[in-house]
Amino acid sequence: MAYRLNHMQHGGRPEASWDHAALAEEAPTTPTVGTFMTYSDKPAHLTAPTQDTMGFTPAKAGTLRTSKVLKPQKIADMDEDKDLQKLFTSESNMLIGLSAKVVVLLSCAAMVVIRMWRAMRPTIALASSGKHGVDMSIPMVPVSVDNTLDLKSQGSPLRISEQVRQGSERTLAKEMHADIKCPLALWDPFGFGKAEPEAHVQNFRQSELHHGRAAMAAIFFVSPVSTQKPRPMHTLMLARERENRIRNAQDAGEIHDMIADEELDKFDSVAAVVQLSKMGRGSVGGGKKWVLLHDLVQVSQRHYGPRQTASVLHSYAKLRRRRLAISLVPLAELEEAVERVAPDMNSRHVAMTIWAYGALGVPPSPHVIDKLEAALRRVVSDMIVGGGDPLIPQGLANIIWAYSKLSLRPTPATLDALKQVAESLIRKMSPQEVANTLYGYAALPRTVTYDSRDTAMSEVPLAELEEAIERVAPDMNSQEVANTIWAYGILGVPPTRRVIDEFEKALRRVVTDMIPQEFSNIIWAYPKFGLRPMPETLDALKQVAGGLIRKMSPREVATTLYGYAALPRTVTYDTRVTAVSGVPLVELEEAIVRVALDMNRQEVENTIWAYKNLMWAGRRRDKSSMRSK
């Protein structure tokens, strides 16, 4: 039984994506922040402010905005397309190839049997056949004018036959054995022809050549070129035509009509799910059309291989993001397929499958997760020895993210295996992959409390990640900066001075690109690891605070006020004027008035605690608004 822990409320989960190997897209979630530590004399035991949806976007595509339409990242669509094309030839090659091999083997067996049979035939039968064994170079009996045989000069009929046979043997032996390299030289490893006359040997050699040509022709018909066409031509043409129609469909309705009106096979079911997951960005709705797709996949999955299983599950996870009901996902049947094919999955299939479970938000059964972890350890072991299909950097990022999303912790054996390849993979990671990986490790359920950097480094490859952060921070976008700082807040340990310097340079660079949630997360994270932003960073944040706070949700307003109240201070906030100098209090109070009626209990309590920690009372109308709640 796999080693599992219940997830502690460490925080939300930013999303992972898979550029290189068709794995993942952004996965919007509702992260939650851990329990806040208060900075007043009397600790207030409050639950943490929760955060709105946070999702990663590709670094090249810009920053994802939760207030805008999500722009999912394409997950190696080209690789998926190639995979689907291979599906039409890879599965049925085996049957045709096996049949052809049987034909070759039977032909070879027949050749051997005939050769042995001919080797044991009596010589006299061969000589009497009139076809072989008579050397016409031996002079025949002279014929007289009156057509009578000269028996006196030639002897008895038996002597004539013996003379013909011996003459033929001498001539053929001289021809065949004069040079062993002669094309007619006999290959006779079993010695069948040692005691046979040369005429018989010549006939044996001719039969051998005939059978050899037949075997060569049979081998030609089962060459690798021919095995690439496993299905009858008309069936293949129909399958290609259906595939092209699915891939070139202008809208989802065309694909759903094909599912309803035509008989589709397992290849078509894979193509349909993959293509539907790529179409559109809004809600996919529901209804009978999705039930038909569910039923098609339900029937076809028992014939899926590793690639097909991973692709379909991955595509359903993307559709689930677009509000496809979980009841319309044939999860139980796909889980059976995963359990069946996991031992044959490569690193890409494993990472796609684990990511899909994370995106679906449904943990696999213990049997399935055990099979997936065994496959993961296998591909990592192959990678260490330089064989197999190596895990790529984004694969590691997505796997770690998915486990944190599922509130599961990999078994110690799996974590140890990943740790062996983490350094080499992290060194090659992009900014987004670095942020995803740090966040995933930070949000994993823990076996110990990270009360120091050393404790955190015992379970998190923090040294390698911090080296990568220094390398990629100048290229991070606003979301990657915010999520990485937030990950340190969840870990509860401060970054090194060099890392925080790189962070703040990047933060000042991207401050104008921020969305309200990123601003809120950054302000929340700093007090969690016990640092205050540098004055120039606070000034840069203050310049954009007004515009962002006006767009904040109730949760973001409460979290932002809480973060400012909990920041380490350089001065005492003994008056409102003093507090306003370090906190965008005017903008926050305007936002509180706007959102107070929509705050839940937790957000109201955190807002009140923040005012208490600021050491002075807010305006009366703010209190009145919160009381009415």
- pLDDT given at position 449: 86
SS3 content of the chain, % helix, strand, coil (to 5): 65, 0, 35
Do the Cβ atoms of 22 and 443 come closer than 8 Å? Answer: no
Q: What is the average per-residue pLDDT within 4-19?
A: 40
- pLDDT given at position 573: 81
User: Which residue, among 219, 271, 230, 220, has the nearest Cα to 247 in the 3D structure?
Assistant: 271
Cα dihedral: 66, 68, 69, 72 (round 10): -50
**Which residue type sits at 112?**
V
pTM score, two decimals?
A: 0.65
Which has the higher per-residue pLDDT, 80 or 247? 247
Do the Cβ atoms of 364 and 342 come closer than 8 Å? Answer: no
Q: For residue 175, count CB atoms less than 10 angstroms from its CB and return exposed for 0-12, middle for 13-18, buried for 19 or more.
A: middle
- pLDDT given at position 143: 40
- pLDDT given at position 582: 85
- pLDDT given at position 54: 37
Question: Mean pLDDT across the chain, nearest whole number?
Answer: 75
List pLDDT tens digits, range 565-611. Answer: 999 988 888 788 888 888 999 999 999 999 999 999 999 999 999 99
Report the chain's terminal Cα–Cα distance, integer Å.
48
- Cβ-proximal residues to 202 (8 Å cutoff; 6+ apart), any chain: 132, 133, 172, 176, 184
* Cα diameter, the chain: 153
User: Which residue, among 340, 407, 331, has the nearest Cα to 372 in the 3D structure?
Assistant: 340
- pLDDT given at position 242: 86
Distances (CA, A) of 142 to 146, 155, 160, 389: 12, 12, 12, 82
Q: What is the average per-residue pLDDT within 318-324?
A: 93
| Whether the predicted pLDDT of 388 surpasses 60 | yes
List pLDDT tens digits, range 479-532. Answer: 999 999 999 999 999 999 999 999 999 999 999 999 999 999 999 999 999 999
